[in-house]
Structure 1
Amino acid sequence: MPAERLLPTTEAEDLLALTREIARDELAPVAAEYEEHERFPREQFRLLGRSGLLGLPYPEEWGGSALPYEVYLQVLEELAAAWMTVGVGVSVHTMSCYALARHGTEEQRARFLPDMLGGDLLGAYALSESHAGSDAAALTTRARREGDDYLVNGAKAWITHGGQADFYTTMVRTSDDGARGISCLLVDAGTPGVEFTPPERKMGLTGSSTTQVLFSGARVPTDRLLGAEGQGFKIALSALNSGRLGIAACAVGLAQAALDEAVSYAKQRTQFGRTIIDFQGLGFLLADMAAAVESARATYLEAARRRDRGLPFVRQASIAKLVATDAAMKVTTDAVQVLGGAGYTRDFPVERYLREAKVPQIFEGTNQIQRVVIARQLREADVTG
């Protein structure tokens, strides 16, 4: 289990206790079954919404909890430790609300945010395209103004919650002026002209639906524009900075779950008359796994504290995402090794953890892109900041 947390308030301690209870009683018991049958956990997201866990970092006036990111991320870690699909889903939903919460008008926020943060509406974040992944500014989905509507045509790819979400925070091209020609629209799932491909067949997170989103003459009212025309790319990057912290926290939760399983097994499994945890070679492996988990946790928490204090955190967010997701990949791989042949079977959860650990190294910007961001930040900023 993770080390004792130092939370800023009693309210935060109670919230984390509630999260652990829900994770233990409602998420962990059904995770393997849902993943095996590729079943989307919509009811679980509704439960989290009713429990107040879908709007933690957003203001109370719209149904949020106005909690620090430091606390929100620890909630994500607990959810992901029980069920990675749900942890990632909450992170994606939170990121999908970001553009509206930060850049929407008062009227837009009052109209849409309460249902989003309360769990009645589940969100998706539609930025990537098949030819515009790491190079997001190359997106071509176009929105042309026509009276009181935008006429949207194009396709988005690799969209988490695709076909399941109620709204899509969608980046579209409103002019040909490169990154400055991108705008942000809040698109209802039921908009005529919006369709979804069958879910991708993935190696992990199989309970999470990932699809393409197709726009064929979809009419989106102009009052669904978030921010001004041309601000979309800046909005997208800003949302990703916070979203990377969410993925880092989820990766730590997954790694912690793998470590817990490996330690439990090593304490019970005997060879040559001793439990295998007593063999130095394996004990050192577990020690390295524990060091990786706690180091990654400290990294994301420090980045979150900078965000909470209003300090620059772009570099720290990329570092946290890079460190935590690489750690999760190694820790889950080593957990399978600790369990040996048993770890390679579906009788134990570590094989699923290993499959789930790969994609966090890819989404919210690949870890290669994180290195680009970090290097650019080192070049352009005071490295002590």
Structure 2
Amino acid sequence: MGQRSDDGVNEPWRTSTRLPLILDALLGSEEEPAVRQLIDAFGGPAARAKDQLVGEPAYRSRRLQFASGGQMIMHDGVTVAVVLHAAPTGFAPGGFHLPSWIPGLDKDATLSDLKGALDAPRAPGGMGFVLDGAYVEPRFKNNRGWNEPGNLLSLSFRAEAPQHACRPEDDDCPTCSDLLVRGAHTGGMDVEQTIAALSSAAAAGLITESPSWVPLADLQQLHASQLMERVESQLSCSACLRIICLTLYRESSPTFEYTVLNEARQRPLEAIPPVEQWGDHLRIAKDRDAMHYVDHQPGSWFLVEQQGSLFLEGRYCINTMVDSTALLRLDQAETDAYRTGGHDYLSDLAKRIDKSGPHTEESPYFRRDLYRGPDRAMLSKSVAAAIVNHTWAAEQRRRS
């Protein structure tokens, strides 16, 4: 894969392991010699070959699964990942024999063992390593237990950095891979049926809507209004953690993409217009009972209103590494003080809340924090919907 450097003496894995066979195959097509060589090394031909379309616009994901426990994943004919399954699988009951490829490493290897065997630089974040510009990531049972023998599931090799691209292994995630519904005749995405499938999965708790984007229920009405260039809903999968981005465009075809969190956060979105400009009478009536944005101080607090009551969401520090937020309904004295002192009064109140340590019972705001009650999830979602156009992230999206 790519151009190798000449400092192999400083990277023992080049000569002490068979991993160069894998790296040479990455980004190659199935017909290229390096890919054919890896297929032969895995004991080809493949025991199973699985094909599926992913996303819209669609790409074809092809899996070649070998009885040896090796697996190759291709996108539109290009090898994007190679996986060594240390644990038994349906196509490889014995699992991959790691010692024949990485001396000193077996299925009982821990993260420390892997570090010693590869002697390669660690990748930014996570538990992976960088090998000649490619990335290798270990997977352990339940994403934990990396210090205990017997928990290693697999080693995955790919060309793209994990923080910028989804794992190709998740193309067939049993939770979210079949939520895109294609038209029977066109093969393209059926938007209405796809929204219905996503809504059902969200109701079942399999995926979670992001309150920082357009709600699924509003997607088609907003799109039909033509008020926005692009209208997007984002949902996270509880199993593979990918972010599903369903986007309707004013002048182009809709898209359905899987992204990682870092990339999803950077996608553009205009300010969402007031519901009176695009909603039907039922949606407008529903909005009357919802929370609405009033004011905010960047990085400190938001003020929202609901049916005459004012709520202050204030950020506070737990320690130098962790912060959180508290939600208070302003009492009559605080409401009167706000009417008189305005923005400055709320900034002062937010500072007092922060300094009091509202996460401790000694704070006078501890019991008033609505986020400590049983309605936390509902209130958090309501506040997020009210301030969706006014957060720092929203400002960055409009600049994208």
- TM superposition score normalised by structure 2: 0.22
With a CA cutoff of 8 Å and minimum separation of 6, indicate the structure with the bigger relative contact order. 1
> Which structure has the larger Rg over C-alpha atoms?
2
Query: Which has more strand, going by share of residues?
Result: 2
Query: Which has more helix, going by share of residues?
Result: 1
